[in-house]
Structure 1
């Protein structure tokens, strides 16, 4: 099952500058695990040490919010990772 993943600029240092990736998995958590195998450290940027989605990160699957790592995905889905911007 192939999932298209679009990542924000904040994660480019983990993806070698790539903004779009392919990953495998039947759930959001499985896709993040697959991405982390190929791009070490990426998962920890979006999921904390307790397995919770970090508060500054949002996931959208086919433009619909995904609020849990158990959210299912299907072949051909698009996962959009959005990181909050901050500054002053």
Structure 2
């Protein structure tokens, strides 16, 4: 599941099944389907951006790109909007 903020930049985003054994693999697959999305989620150092949150099976996680995933995990990617 993706927030509407991400769908603004990537209108073809939709809930789908992606086989991945880690967040890194998940992000790689998303990048293949939605070129440029990884730049919104990961910084120049390869770390998850501060304003991006992942929920795994409806639980919030402070994850790293190497976080492993179980096969049946449901992932929600939330990108906060900030500004003033």
The alignment's TM-score, normalised by the length of structure 2, stands at 0.83
Residue by residue over 1:44-63, the C-alpha shift from the partner in whole angstroms, topping out at 9 and shown as x without a partner, is 10001210111111111112
Q: Which runs of 5+ in 1 are unaligned?
A: 1-5
Alpha-carbon separation, structure 1, partners of 2:79 and 2:71:
24
Higher strand share: 1
Give the alignment partner of residue 10 of structure 1, picking from 5, 12, 20.
5
Query: Runs in 1 of length 4+ with deviation above 3 angstroms?
Result: none
Report the count of equivalent residues: 82
Partner of 2:40: 45
The alignment's TM-score, normalised by the length of structure 1, stands at 0.80
Alpha-carbon separation, structure 1, partners of 2:10 and 2:33:
9
Q: CA deviation at 1:24?
A: 2.1
Q: Which runs of 5+ in 2 are unaligned?
A: none
Q: CA RMSD in A?
A: 1.6
Task: State whether residues 54 and 63 of structure 2, in contact with CA within 8 Å, keep that contact through their aligned partners in structure 1.
Answer: yes
